[in-house]
Homo-oligomer: A and B are copies of this chain.
Amino acid sequence: MLTIGTLSKKTGTKVQTIRYYEQIGLMPEPGRTEGGQRRYDNAQLDRLSFIRHSRQLGFSLDAIRELLDLSDHPNRSCHEADAIARRQLKQVDQRMARLKALRTELKRMVHECSGGRTGDCKVLEVLRDHSECLTEHEEIGA
């Protein structure tokens, strides 16, 4: 039986985050001691590791909820899991493409900075005038 602190260390998840996952129903309610402290078993350790790893791969908590559900039913078709992963891959591809465009723009800005007064600063000038941009980058939150 693991305390929440031990689980925290083993998975690299903050204690507060574990409680948060329980609150939103991603982690099941664990057993408690007489005094009311949470105690976890290995199944729960596995589940949290799964969540953690999925987060590291960028899956949203909603997607993880679906993936966990699929994982709990080994006889269903894995078609859905595959679809979720593909969706995630697509998102990553899109984000990378956007970042690439931003990078180009940023590089150009920095490259052209002559180190003089802010009045002549290329960095600020580019920010002032979108028309100077070589690439389109309409989306925010890349």
Identify A82's interface contact among B55, B96, B123, CB under 8 A.
B123
Q: Fill in one digit per residue for A97-131: 1 if any B CB lies within 8 Å of its CB, else 0.
A: 00110110111011001111111110110011010
Q: Are B118 and A106 in contact (CB-based, < 8 A)?
A: no
How many copies, total? 2
- In the complex where A100-B96, A103-B92, A130-B53 touch, is A116 in contact with B78 (Cβ < 8 A)? yes
Any B CB within 8 A of the CB of A56:
yes
Identify which of A1-9, A18-26, A32-40, A83-91 touches chain B. A83-91
Q: How far is the CB of A101 from chain B (nearest CB, A)?
A: 10
Any B CB within 8 A of the CB of A49:
yes
Cα-based distance from A121 to B86 in the complex (angstroms): 14
Chain A interface residue count, Cβ-Cβ cutoff 8 angstroms: 59
Q: Are A99 and B99 in contact (CB-based, < 8 A)?
A: yes
* Residues of chain B lying within 8 A (CB to CB) of residue A49: 128, 130
Near B by CB (< 8 A), chain A positions 49-69 give 49-50, 53-58, 67
A-side residues, CB < 8 A to B, are 12, 46, 49-50, 53-58, 67, 70-71, 73-79, 81-82, 84-86, 88-89, 92-93, 95-96, 99-100, 102-103, 105-107, 109-110, 113-121, 123-124, 127-128, 130, 137-140, 142
